[in-house]
Structure 1
Amino acid sequence: MQSANANVALSKFRIYFDNKTRSNSLQIRNTGAEDVKYTAELALNNMTEDGSIYSVGEDQYDATKFLRFSPKRGTIAPGERQAIRFALRKPQGLEDGEYRAVMRVISELAPTEGGNVNLASKLAYNIPIIVRHGEVFVESSLEEPSVVMHNGLPHVEVWQTRTGNRSLYGNFIVEAEDGTEIGVLNNVATYRPLQRRKVLIPLQNPVKGPVTIKYVENSKFGGSLEDSVNLTIN
């Protein structure tokens, strides 16, 4: 299970369909001592250049129309699991590229015999769903690296460019001249149709001198791109 709180754990933080995948599933496990109710729905979102996610009502790369899933609601007993199963049915003539949706899961403790429920236990999860179709491609570069202060701590700031018909998803590492890792930021997405995104990588062990910022896509989700850029920290 990848994502957890006091009452619920989710088996995945990202649902991915490549050209050969037609079904997938997400497991919800009740890790608490009381029944948990959940509801699930498909939604859409977009991303700003600083990486912020916001909800939208429509999207030209909408995957919700291709997806069916069930069950949409239920109650899970303590220690038990519920699988939400997805089926993908792409229409004829679909343009090559990547399409997206979000699975929004809302969980809360089930009411007690007296009808009471702790509203503070109500939690929402947003799991990206990526659907790729036909020939997909992407090009990217790392540009304008610098050191900035963010929330009172030093970060490496770099812009990641993106062109093509799919998004990017991978990990950033900042290495000192001797190969020591001084900053790491994992699971960073740059969604289509963004042409660039600002990335802030926290520096764990600040140094002075030449450093290299490396990017490696996550191969588990259909990526193989690698890139790097150099920076001198004064």
Structure 2
Amino acid sequence: MKKFSGFRARALTASACLLAFGFASSVAAQNLSLEAAQEAPEDEAELVAPPIPEVEAGEVPDGSVGGMGDINLYPRRIIMDRRSRIASVGIYNKTAFDGDYEISITDMVMLNSGNVVPLDNIPAGVEAGEVKVASQMLRHSPRRVALLGSEAQTVRIMARPSADLPDGEYRAHFMVVSVPKNLDEGFSIEDAVSDNAADTGNVGVTIRPRFGISIPVIVRVGDTTLDVGLENIGFVQGERGPLLSMTITRSGTRSAYGDVVVTAPGQDEPLVIARGIGVYPEIDSRQVQLALNPEFDLTQLRAGMQLTATFVDDDVNPGETLARQDFVVR
């Protein structure tokens, strides 16, 4: 086993390890024709996935995403195209305790609220026909890992699309879920309903939470387009103070991913800066409520003041303004 600056890391080397607002707006297109499956080299083991970042023991790399559990994933999202159809995901155990984790690839749908739910568990009334799933073209291994404290695991992911796949953006989600210890202890369903359990009163339920975290794996084929807009911008009252509400609109064949920045004239600090907001192709708009920057001096806001909201790309052309909308404080 090899160490990455304190974080012990394992790498899979077997060839079978495959996975893998509206004042103005701009339209962006890209030609990302993905290599077809038959163009893959005969020896897939020769394909080299990028390494995961080196970090100190117990630390996680910048740009990683964490949840309620004890692990982080790096990177936040994976984009595959003809230039890169193989990638690495780093699973970082950020605690001093060992843990077991199940790894899967699942198809999910984004709701207008921004929540992402599995396709097999969508709420009533939600249409999922616009989702272009990618799970069948992705391969990954292993399906389960055991990590010691401060240990990291590199998982290799590869896309194998069919040659006749229509242009567009396809997506699945790389998911890691913790496996509770002593899962087999306690009563089974049969024990709970048996005569002996009823006689002794030993009927109960043990709840063991399973924390999970996922990142999108996006496969882009051929030409994709995107048009972004910002609408319905205004202040609303949240439980902990004022928030800025807006609707991010999206059209085209590609997802939008970027930062929302709201500025006021004569102020050095932005009123809002929200990073990493995505709108997937299956929805035309997403409603968001954004926290205000605590460094901004709210006493400088006046009724009638004009503010500017922008959506800045952090995907195909990082730093490019995809949408800009002026609005007035009321």
Using structure 1 for the length normalisation, give the TM-score.
0.87
| Cα 1:14–1:53 shift into 2, 3 Å | same
Structure 1 unpaired stretches of 5+: none
CA distances 1:3-39 after superposition (whole Å, capped 9, x unpaired): 3467323222212213311111111122323321111
State the match for 2:151 in structure 1. 80
In 1, Cα distance between equivalents of 2:141 and 2:317: 26
Task: Work out whether 1:126 is the aligned partner of 2:214.
Answer: yes
Distance 1:9 1:137 in 2: 31
If each structure's strand is expressed as a fraction of its own residues, which one has the higher value? Answer: 1
Residue aligning to 1:213: 309
Unaligned runs of 5+ in 2: 1-60, 121-127, 187-206
Deviation string, structure 1 residues 125-163 (Cα, Å, up to 9, x no partner): 121111111111111211222222233422222222111
The answer to whether residue 107 in structure 2 is matched with residue 44 in structure 1 is: yes
Counterpart CA distance in 2 for 1:19 and 1:140 is 25
What SS does the corresponding residue of 1:91 show, helix, strand or coil? coil
- How far is the alpha carbon of 1:46 from its aligned partner? 1.3
CA distance in 1, matches of 2:95, 2:167: 43
Tell me the SS of whatever aligns to 2:271: strand
Contact 1:71 1:85 in 2 (8 A): no
1:181 partnered with 2:270: yes
Aligned length: 230
Q: Which amino acid is 2:275 matched to?
A: N
Structure 1 residue 166: Cα displacement: 0.7
1:1-234 pair list within 5 angstroms: 1=61, 2-4=64-66, 7-57=70-120, 60-108=131-179, 122-179=210-267, 180-204=269-293, 205=296, 206=298, 207-208=301-302, 209-219=305-315, 224-234=320-330
CA contact (8 A) 1:32 1:79 kept: yes
> How far apart, CA to CA, are the structure 2 residues paired with 1:107 and 1:48?
25
Structure of higher CA gyration radius = 2
Matches of 1:108 and 1:9 in 2, distance apart? 15
**Greater displacement, 63-72 / 10-19:** 10-19
1:145-192 CA distance string (max 9 Å, x none): 222223342222222211111110111011111143111211111111
Cα 1:199–1:32 change in 2 (3 A) is closer
Deviations 1:107-136 (A, max 9, x none): 24655xxx89xx767421121111111111
| 2:279 partner letter | T
Per the alignment, in what secondary structure is the counterpart of residue 223 of structure 2? Answer: coil
**Partner Cα separation in structure 2 for residue 158 and residue 82 of structure 1:** 39
- Report the AA paired with residue 76 of structure 2: F
Q: CA RMSD in A?
A: 2.5
Identity rate of aligned residues, in percent?
25
Pick the structure with more helix per residue: 2
Distance 2:321 2:106 in 1: 28
User: Bigger CA drift: 72-81 or 87-96?
Assistant: 72-81
Deviation at 1:229, TM superposition (A): 0.6
TM-score by length of structure 2 reads 0.63
CA deviation vs aligned residue, 1:39-85 (integer Å, no higher than 9, x gap): 11111211222222222137640000110011111211223221111
Equivalent pair of 2:180/2:208 in contact (CA under 8 Å):
no
- Greater relative CO (CA pairs within 8 A, separation 6+): 2
Any conservation in 1 of the 2:261–2:274 contact (CA below 8 Å)? yes
CA contact (8 A) 1:6 1:32 kept: no
